[in-house]
């Protein structure tokens, strides 16, 4: 039985972990390293999960085929399969990545996009890695599965003169805003810090194009999701994906291939780790 069958939150966790790996030091499993001051210890990575799935796959591989499959390849395959298992496209990915030797928390903030970023700021971050605005919209579609803590979108609400919590963004669907406020009980209240909400209301366990339909309806959860319909260029792509799941899936295949090619290590730049949570001795 697969880890995703036992725990339906696993696919989202694995896909997000891949994004956080590839954007910092390239797709080299640097995000998996444990220890003081590693990427995992940065606040942006504290809510990552699913590490045990990668560790278990590695342990098994070391028995049947030692020192051959890198942790970075395992993570790419796991994320690829997380998409397929939840109903998304099955896409080809290249193999042969080597695992990185460096994992520094200080590299995370400069590379991982914050939910306060504008479309232009996100575009700059993507362009710096050789990715396009279309890649940004397509890969944001990763939010078609999984969930987010109330704390990651609490700043989308404010308290008005009557003491009521209201959306700060008039474009947020009012019904949706009410649902979020209820789900988080009291936004900005520490009580809600562990509460989570589905990123893609109504179909968060299915990898489909509903995320884009929701964005057009003012039902984007994170600020960075919502702003994709406030920029003319990105809005056109969102609308195209909302109309056609097929075009989202085709674009996903191409963007996922580019994401998983970022900063790939070869030869002596890397190694095949024996255990995914630490570099070899």
Residue 201 annotated as part of some ligand binding site: no
214 near ligand HEM (CB under 6 A): no
Figure out which of the listed residues 80, 143, 156, 273 binds ligand HEM, where binding follows CB under 6 A.
Answer: 143
Nearest Cα to Cα of residue 228 among 237, 204, 250: 237
Biggest CA pair distance of the chain: 65
Are 28 and 76 in contact by the 8 Å Cβ rule? The answer is no
Of the candidate spans 13-21, 35-43, 69-77, 164-172, the one that interacts with ligand HEM by CB under 6 A turns out to be 13-21
Answer yes or no whether residue 152 interacts with ligand HEM by CB under 6 A: yes
Given 13, 20, 40, 273, the catalytic residue:
20
Q: Give phi and psi for 109, each to the nearest 5.
A: -55, -40
- Asked if 156 interacts with ligand HEM (CB under 6 A), we say no
Residues sharing a CB contact under 8 Å with residue 254, sequence separation 6 or more, in sequence order: 138
Exactly one of 142, 167, 220, 270 binds ligand HEM (CB under 6 A); that residue is: 142
39 labeled binding residue: yes
- Least distance to ligand HEM, CB of residue 150, Å: 8
- Contact region for ligand HEM (CB under 6 A) — 9-17, 51-59, 99-107, 165-173? 9-17
Contact between 146 and ligand HEM per CB under 6 A: yes
With beta carbons less than 8 A apart as the criterion, state whether 136 and 188 touch: no
Three-state DSSP class for 199?
coil
* DSSP state letter for 193: G
Among the residue ranges 11-19, 25-33, 61-69, 177-185, the one whose residues contact ligand HEM (CB under 6 A): 11-19
Question: Nearest 5 degrees, angle CA 214-CA 211-CA 175?
Answer: 30
158 forms beta bridges with 166
Interacting residue with ligand HEM among 3, 4, 19, 273 (CB under 6 A): 19
Interaction between residue 16 and ligand HEM (CB under 6 A): yes
Q: Assess contact for 260 and 93: CB atoms under 8 A.
A: yes
From residue 242 to residue 271, the character string flagging contacts with ligand HEM as x (rule: CB under 6 A) and all else as - is: ------------------------------
Tell how many helices (H) and how many strands (E) occur in the chain.
11, 4
- In the window 53-112, what residues touch ligand HEM (CB under 6 A)? none
Q: Does 233 carry a binding-site annotation?
A: no
Residue from 38, 86, 103, 140 that binds ligand HEM (CB under 6 A)?
A: 140
Is 20 one of the catalytic residues? yes
Please, which residues bridge with residue 254 across strands?
A: none
Mapping DSSP to helix (H, G, I), strand (E, B) and coil, where does residue 177 land?
Answer: helix
First and final C-alpha spacing in the chain: 33
Residues acting as catalytic residues: 20
Contact residues for ligand HEM, defined by CB under 6 A: 9, 12-13, 15-16, 19, 47, 49, 113, 115, 122, 139-140, 142-143, 145-149, 152, 199, 222, 224
């Amino acid at each position: 039985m697969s880890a995703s069958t036992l725990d339906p939150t696993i696919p989202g966790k694995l896909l997000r972990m891949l994004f956080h790996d590839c954007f910092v030091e390239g797709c080299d499993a640097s995000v998996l390293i444990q220890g003081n001051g590693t990427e995992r210890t940065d606040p942006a990575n504290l809510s990552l999960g699913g590490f045990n799935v990668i560790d278990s796959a590695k342990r098994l591989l070391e028995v049947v085929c030692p020192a051959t499959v890198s942790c970075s390849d395992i993570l790419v395959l796991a994320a690829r399969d997380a998409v397929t298992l939840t109903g998304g496209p099955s896409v080809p990915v290249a193999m042969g990545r080597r695992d990185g030797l460096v994992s520094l928390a200080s590299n995370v903030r400069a590379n991982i996009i914050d939910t306060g970023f504008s479309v232009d700021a996100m575009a700059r971050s993507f362009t710096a890695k050789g990715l396009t605005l279309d890649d940004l919209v397509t890969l944001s579609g990763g939010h078609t599965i999984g969930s987010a803590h109330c704390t990651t979108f609490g700043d989308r609400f404010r308290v008005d003169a009557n003491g009521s919590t209201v959306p700060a963004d008039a474009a947020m669907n009012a019904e949706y805003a009410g649902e979020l406020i209820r789900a988080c009980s009291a936004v900005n209240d520490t009580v809600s810090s562990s509460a989570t909400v589905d990123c893609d209301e109504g179909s968060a366990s299915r990898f489909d194009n509903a995320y884009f339909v929701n964005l057009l309806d003012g039902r984007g959860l994170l600020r960075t999701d919502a702003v994709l319909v406030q920029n003319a260029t990105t809005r056109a792509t969102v609308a195209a994906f909302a109309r056609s799941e097929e075009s989202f899936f085709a674009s996903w295949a191409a963007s996922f291939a580019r994401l998983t090619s970022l900063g790939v290590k070869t030869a002596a730049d890397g190694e095949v780790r024996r255990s995914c949570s630490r570099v070899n001795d």
